[in-house]
Amino acid sequence: MKRQVALLITLFIGTLLVVSVFIPPMESLKETFTLFFDIIAVFAFFLGGGNLLRVHLTKLSKRKQDWVYSIVTLVGFTVVLVIGLFKLGNPGGIAASPTAEGSLFQTLFDNVLVPLSSTMYALLAFFVASASYRAFRAKNREATILLIAAFIILLGRTPFGMMLTSWVPNSLSILQIPNLAIWIMNSANLAGQRAIMIGIGLGVVSMSIRIILGIERTYLGEEK
Amino acid sequence: MDDQLYRQPVFRVFQIFLIIFTVLAGSIFAQDPAIGLTDSADVFVPAPPGAVKATDVVYDQGGAVDLEWELSPDDDGSLKVSGYYICRREVGGEDYRLVDSVMAGVRTFVDETVEQDHTYQYMVAVNGDCSTAPSEESNSITPDMEWLNFGLSNLFIIGLVICGSVIYFIAHAKRGKKFFIRKIAGLEAVDEAIGRATEMGRPILFVPGILDMDDVQTIAALTILGRVSRVVADYDTKINVPVSRSLVMTAARETIKSSYMAAGRPDAYSDDMAAYITDEQFGYVAAVDGMMVREKPATCFLLGAFFAESLILAETGNSIGAIQIAGTARPAQLPFFVAACDFTLIGEELFAASAYLSGEPKQMGSLKGQDVGKAIAMVFIVLGVITTTLAQAWDIGVFTWISDLLHDLFQVTS
Amino acid sequence: MDAIGLWIGAFLTLGIMSFLYKDNPWYKLSESIFVGVSAGYWFITLFWDSIYSKFYIGVSQEGDNYLYVGAILGLMMLMRLIPKVGWISRWPLAFIVGAISGFYLINYFSSNIMRQVANTVMPLFSTDYGQSLFSASVGTIIDNILVAGGTFAGLVYFFFSKEHKGAFGATAKVGIWVIMVTFGATFGYTVMSRMSLLIGRMDFIFGDWLGLIK
Amino acid sequence: MFTPAPLLALSSSTIGVSISLGLVGLGMVWMLIRSLRARDVDRRIVFLFIFISVSAPILFPITFSETPTPVVKKLFDKVESLPADSKVLISFDFDPAMAPEVQPMADAFTRHCMAKNHKVIFMSLWATGQSLLNQTMRAVLVTEFPEKRDGIDYVELGYKAGNEGVLNVIVSNFRKMFPTDVNSIPLDSIEIFDKIKSCRDLDLIISIGGGKPGIKEWVLFVGDPTKTPIGAGVAAVVAPQLYPYYPKQLLGLLGGVKGAAEYESELVRHYPQFEEVDKPGLRMMGPQTFAHVVILAFIVLGNISFFVSRRRASR
């Protein structure tokens, strides 16, 4: 019974949103749902954040491996919460936006989160290199095509691409690697992109229908 | 050549000066009609713009009116006309009020400040207020709200056809019709991958992307998690689902729990299987990376919405020698999965996965249905390309007709 | 203050980088700081933005009482904390999933299917729909044909309900090749952006921190 | 595209570069020998190579000149051709992680619009975009254009949560989503907004980002319905998947540092006064090039060792 209600909710809301597109008076429905979602998400955080605390506190109390680091996490978490909620060290006081210039909260962001996230992101440079060394090998035809396309584009992004093929007469300028690179981006790449996009579109449509009709219900629990 | 002149900074300055002047002039004389009326010889008053046509904007909530007028003969780019000033009044009500203004050379305006079911009249004046060289009054117009957006009827029709085909085949399958579905390598490998983890006595890592429940890919990932954790429950292997959104954590727990119940082992389920890390993209990645190198999972599922982290996770997973099954609908990230993972679900396959894994006829039916959708799209593409090309080659009525039809059919207005 | 910030930044930057060598206490430390602080940061941002700016202001000042529905759904979510009524948290979940499915169904339909098909329906010998015949250069004509054909083949690859055999299989093969070119291109194109991120960090280390770049 | 001529327009001491490149070169030879023996190298060595080839050109700068590709030129020309006082919205839809790549674009756009005396509206769909927006404000607007006044020449709306939701609203009404600007000044008392109700009233929208919500959302939720031209500056990674939208739904596109560099050089070509300002895009092209070459080398080496080992196996 409880689950039937849930399925009905999905069915009703889903259909409603689909229909709303064709009915001008219901245009604003999307915005409303977006607002609702944001609000729900914050409530949900009490579960997520709560779980974060629980996990690390147990780790701490049970003196599990690496429990020391749990202290760091816990401290960091609570400190930010306190600073942010009471807007400590915020020039504008409680009225100002939490991310106001010069606020302690913002400083924390600039000096701790910015370096951390951008460095984590920067690691990609290394992984891209190791991946291209390890994975870009002409194992089979697909792999070879992937490899060649990537190689041409890469070359096209360097001055050497131009230098290597500068002897090519302008009548055949398409064969100059940088142009070749751009051409690949605009033709074959475009075709692939479109095929993938249309496919995705159909995938989403069909999955949404399954969900709305309650055929796909794994996320709601499958008690038998 | 004119263009050259136009670019001259001197000219620019002059032009800006002129605009400022005209606007000032306009407003001054607006404030003091006495002067405005007496010697208009000093102030050049351009000829009024031509007739104003007001039409209701269709398929809206009745909050907008389309205006169109003929430019003033003096509006020849010589800046005698600084701009057009749209004035409006309610019929039988107050006199004309300035609503808004547009630059010279503009001949249309959408008034979004009207109220439904009130009747309005418009006129367009130049240079600053409603009294300088106003046009004739427009037709009176009553913006109203439509109940159906016929502008989207093509979307509706095609949508009906494709969604219809999906539903039809689901229903068809319900009546016990079996459909052939080709093997999808990535999904064939799921059982084996889980089995491997069981043998090695190592955990399984399932990453449902980094977006919240408001993204379909996350939902798709969770539906797959349902199938996976069902198998995991049977094998009695350890599964970790670190997530970067609280809502996803909740949903993931719900999903795993029910799978364990379905497998008849509710006792084996624990909330620790799905844990929230942090909303911050790279904070989450840092943590998951750490998890990988410390717990050394034998199998990694990377399914859902991924951004830059795709390769970080995939390469780290690879460095610990895990079997990796990845999938996303983000074209930008697919290459990295293809390069660094053992199996990759490309776009549509991600959404088809749970249906495929479920093995239920109904779900299989939906796959058949979306294939029909694909077929339709392909037919339209082929037909469209051919007819449009032919229509261009020889202007034969039927081709032009078909190609135009197809074109209108697929143009999405809003 | 700035100096301290700089050093903290450098410390954390190197901490994360050290992961490239192998997992180590320095990384673990940076990681735990990262997780703790960022989790807090996001909650605060969301809180002030959704609960305060959107909900509280909306209800108290704009009088958008319908927002209470959102709040109620949120509370239902929290019911999980009480085992007895935990099941009710499924309703907001069902609500969200339903809404998103419905929303994306139409959205993807028009943007991914309709629009992409429309963009593919192109006269092969002209630069664009409605342009005169042979307005396109030879190159463009080849492109048009390639794009149309490639898209078609790519779609064939995604067919689930038909064995990839014979002519159909061959087309599917071409399709996957086209897709592979796409992937290769994307990968190659991406390297650049990845590098720039690293360059950015190096700038920070060598320039801002060590002051080696004038 | 590159012009080979000024390729080696070396700015400062080449010694350092040549030394480090020598190192890389030797290393490569060593790797080649290993590969010929079909022995793969540890990934950490790969990492080391990347580290050197990137940091060397940073410490000893080298710059190449750029000529804009059409897709960049188109956007530049649009900004250039708009009459003064046109209303341009620049949205900072990225985070610090993406910043090194796209912030240069943001700065370039801002400079260009200011030089053209456009009215600029700054906003962000990313919580993390706010502080980066402030950075550009501080670094470009305030320092280089002190004469420009807040609220008259530009306005900062700042960040609003709600992703596409925000766009769904502002497409029909700014004030509904942004009752005030970031300094809580009501929009009605901001001059720029006298004539702006919704996105329809803008002359150009430039979204800078690379994630979600980002350019795609701007195009689907704002560009298509309102027909307002949309330009974009994106991380190179997302550029390819945006090509389907160009040129119909997307006016122009800056992809990655190269895009930024091209825009910068084009900007300097039209506005010599920007000769002196820092041009991170151009500055970053040096290390870029070296890193690319190294990666290309890796792909080659990888395949050598692959083929050698396969031949061994077949024997």
Q: Where are the domains of chain A?
A: 136-224
Whether residue C192 has pLDDT greater than 80 = no
Residues 304-333 of chain B with CB under 8 A from chain A are: 308, 311-312, 314-316, 318, 329, 331
Whether residue A34 and residue D162 make contact (CB cut-off 8 A), yes or no, is yes
How far is residue B374 from each of residues B259, B320, B348, B413, C130, measured CA to CA in Å? 32, 39, 11, 22, 26
Q: Does A121 touch chain D (CB under 8 A)?
A: yes
Q: What's chain D's Rg over C-alpha atoms? A: 23
Q: Where are the alpha helices (DSSP H) in B32-62?
A: 33-37
Least CA distance to C51: which residue of chain D? D161
Residues of chain A positioned with their CB less than 8 A from the CB of C149? 191
Among D93, D212, D234, D249, most B C-beta atoms within 10 A, so best to mutate, is: D212
Give B66's strand partners: B55, B110
pLDDT value for D9: 44
* Distance from C-alpha of A134 to C-alpha of B113, rounded to nearest angstrom: 61
User: Nearest 5°: CA angle at C60, between C55 and C61?
Assistant: 100
Tokens (6 digits) for B357? 């894994």
Whether residue D241 and residue B332 make contact (CB cut-off 8 A), yes or no, is yes
Tokens (6 digits) for D114? 């200011």
Q: Do residues A26 and A13 lie in contact, with contact meaning Cβ atoms separated by under 8 Å?
A: no
Whether residue A119 and residue C16 make contact (CB cut-off 8 A), yes or no, is yes
Whether residue B149 and residue A22 make contact (CB cut-off 8 A), yes or no, is yes
- Domain co-membership, B302 together with B263: yes
Q: Does B282 touch chain D (CB under 8 A)?
A: yes
Interchain CB contacts (distance < 8 Å): A and D? 132
Question: Which of B316-352 are b and which e, b meaning 16 or more Cβ less than 10 Å from the residue's Cβ?
Answer: bbbbbebbbbbbbbbbbbbbbbbbbbbbbbbbbbbbb
Give B56's strand partners: B65
Distance from CA of A75 to the nearest CA of D (A): 22
pLDDT by 10s per residue, chain B, length 414: 344 444 555 555 555 555 565 555 555 444 444 333 334 445 577 888 888 888 888 777 777 888 888 888 877 655 567 678 888 888 877 788 878 776 666 677 888 788 888 888 888 888 767 777 888 888 888 888 778 888 788 889 889 999 999 999 999 998 888 888 898 988 999 999 999 999 999 999 999 999 999 899 999 999 999 999 999 999 989 999 999 999 999 999 999 998 999 899 999 999 999 999 999 999 999 999 999 999 999 999 999 999 889 999 999 999 999 999 999 998 889 999 999 999 999 999 999 998 999 888 889 999 999 999 999 999 999 998 998 888 877 777 788 888 888 888 887 754
- Return the closest-CA partner of residue D86 out of D217, D187, D231, D185: D231
Average the pLDDT over each of B293-302, C89-98, C188-197 and give the range with the smallest value.
C188-197
Task: Please tell me which residue, D161 or A159, carries the higher pLDDT value.
Answer: D161
Whether residue B331 and residue D240 make contact (CB cut-off 8 A), yes or no, is yes
Whether residue B308 and residue A27 make contact (CB cut-off 8 A), yes or no, is no
* Distance from C-alpha of B368 to C-alpha of B362, rounded to nearest angstrom: 10
pLDDT value for A149: 92
Residues of chain A positioned with their CB less than 8 A from the CB of D293? 158, 160
- Return the closest-CA partner of residue C102 out of A135, A10, D305: A10
Give D158's strand partners: D123
Structure confidence by residue, pLDDT tens digits, D100-119? 888 999 999 999 999 889 99
Which distant-in-sequence residues (6+ apart) come within 8 Å of A102 by Cβ?
Answer: A91
Structure confidence by residue, pLDDT tens digits, B278-311? 999 999 999 999 999 999 999 999 999 998 899 9
Among A216, A220, A224, most B C-beta atoms within 10 A, so best to mutate, is: A216
Residues of chain A positioned with their CB less than 8 A from the CB of C139? 174, 183
- Domain co-membership, B297 together with B313: yes
- Domain co-membership, B55 together with B1: no
Q: A68 falls in which pLDDT band (50, 70, 90)?
A: very high
Mean pLDDT of the D198-224 span: 85
- Domain co-membership, B101 together with B198: no
- Domain co-membership, B29 together with B72: no
pLDDT value for B79: 58
Whether residue B414 and residue D225 make contact (CB cut-off 8 A), yes or no, is yes
* Distance from C-alpha of C12 to C-alpha of C7, rounded to nearest angstrom: 9
Tokens (6 digits) for A118? 């951008």
Whether residue A34 and residue D164 make contact (CB cut-off 8 A), yes or no, is yes
Tokens (6 digits) for D301? 């080496």
Cα torsion B9, B12, B14, B20: sign? negative
Judge whether B399 lies within some domain: no
Residues 210-229 of chain D with CB under 8 A from chain B are: 211-212, 224-225
Whether residue A224 has pLDDT greater than 70 = no
Which distant-in-sequence residues (6+ apart) come within 8 Å of A59 by Cβ?
Answer: A66, A67, A70
Tally of domains within chain B: 3
User: Nearest 5°: CA angle at C13, between B249 and D140?
Assistant: 100
Q: Does C198 touch chain D (CB under 8 A)?
A: yes
Q: Across all residues in chain C, what is the average pLDDT? A: 88
* Distance from C-alpha of B398 to C-alpha of B65, rounded to nearest angstrom: 37
* Distance from C-alpha of B328 to C-alpha of B306, rounded to nearest angstrom: 7
CATH of the domain at B113: 2.60.40.10
Least CA distance to D42: which residue of chain C? C21
In the CATH scheme, what is the code of domain D70-278? 3.40.50.10160
HSE-up (13 A, CA, CB side) for residue C213: 19
Residues of chain B positioned with their CB less than 8 A from the CB of C154? none
DSSP H or E run through A60: helix A29-61
Helix or strand or coil: residue B87? strand
* Distance from C-alpha of D297 to C-alpha of D292, rounded to nearest angstrom: 9
The shortest CB-CB distance from D97 to any of A121, A162, A193 is to A121
pLDDT value for A189: 84
- Return the closest-CA partner of residue D298 out of A154, C206, B13: A154
- Domain co-membership, B5 together with B109: no
Residue carrying structure tokens 């713009």: B49
Task: Please tell me which residue, A138 or D212, carries the higher pLDDT value.
Answer: A138
- Domain co-membership, B100 together with B187: no
Tokens (6 digits) for B109? 């305006």
DSSP H or E run through C36: helix C25-46
Q: Does D288 touch chain C (CB under 8 A)?
A: yes
Judge whether B412 lies within some domain: no
Q: Does D97 touch chain B (CB under 8 A)?
A: yes
Structure confidence by residue, pLDDT tens digits, C150-174? 999 999 999 999 888 999 999 999 9
Q: C199 falls in which pLDDT band (50, 70, 90)?
A: confident
List, in sequence order, every beta strand (DSSP E) within chain A: none
Whether residue A32 has pLDDT greater than 80 = yes
How far is residue D62 from each of residues C18, C60, D282, measured CA to CA in Å? 28, 59, 9
CATH of the domain at B295: 3.40.50
Q: Does C208 touch chain D (CB under 8 A)?
A: no
Q: Do residues B49 and B126 lie in contact, with contact meaning Cβ atoms separated by under 8 Å?
A: yes
Which distant-in-sequence residues (6+ apart) come within 8 Å of D5 by Cβ?
Answer: none
Residues of chain C positioned with their CB less than 8 A from the CB of A65? none
Judge whether B373 lies within some domain: no
Residue carrying structure tokens 């992680």: D97
Least CA distance to A179: which residue of chain D? D1
Structure confidence by residue, pLDDT tens digits, D214-239? 888 888 788 877 888 899 999 876 77
Q: Is C5 exposed, middle or buried (0-12, 13-18, 19+ CB in 10 A)?
A: middle
- Domain co-membership, B23 together with B77: no
Chain B contact partners (≥3 CB pairs within 8 A): A, C, D
User: Nearest 5°: CA angle at D146, between D142 and D149?
Assistant: 90
Range of the domain at B126: 50-134
* Distance from C-alpha of A149 to C-alpha of A127, rounded to nearest angstrom: 19
Q: Does D197 touch chain B (CB under 8 A)?
A: yes
* Distance from C-alpha of B352 to C-alpha of D35, rounded to nearest angstrom: 41
Least CA distance to D138: which residue of chain A? A101
pLDDT value for A159: 67
Which distant-in-sequence residues (6+ apart) come within 8 Å of B16 by Cβ?
Answer: D84
Whether residue C186 and residue A201 make contact (CB cut-off 8 A), yes or no, is no
Q: Does C16 touch chain B (CB under 8 A)?
A: yes
Give B299's strand partners: B204, B323
pLDDT value for D272: 86
Tokens (6 digits) for C156? 């064939």
Residues of chain A positioned with their CB less than 8 A from the CB of D210? none
Residues of chain C positioned with their CB less than 8 A from the CB of D59? 206, 212-213
Mean pLDDT of the C161-188 span: 92
Among A196, A216, A223, most C C-beta atoms within 10 A, so best to mutate, is: A196
CA-CA-CA-CA torsion for D47, D51, D52, D58, nearest 10 degrees?
160
Q: D59 falls in which pLDDT band (50, 70, 90)?
A: confident
DSSP A77-104: HHHHHHHHHTTTT-TTGGGS-TT-TT-H
Whether residue C99 and residue A212 make contact (CB cut-off 8 A), yes or no, is no
Structure confidence by residue, pLDDT tens digits, C44-73? 988 988 888 888 888 888 888 889 999 999
Which distant-in-sequence residues (6+ apart) come within 8 Å of D81 by Cβ?
Answer: none
Q: C1 falls in which pLDDT band (50, 70, 90)?
A: low
Among B282, B295, B341, B356, most A C-beta atoms within 10 A, so best to mutate, is: B282
User: Nearest 5°: CA angle at B141, between B140 and B147?
Assistant: 165
Judge whether B212 lies within some domain: yes
Helix or strand or coil: residue B382? helix
Residues 80-139 of chain C with CB under 8 A from chain A are: 80-81, 87-88, 90-99, 101-106, 108-109, 111-113, 116-117, 119-120, 139
Beta pairing, strands D204-209 & D87-93: parallel
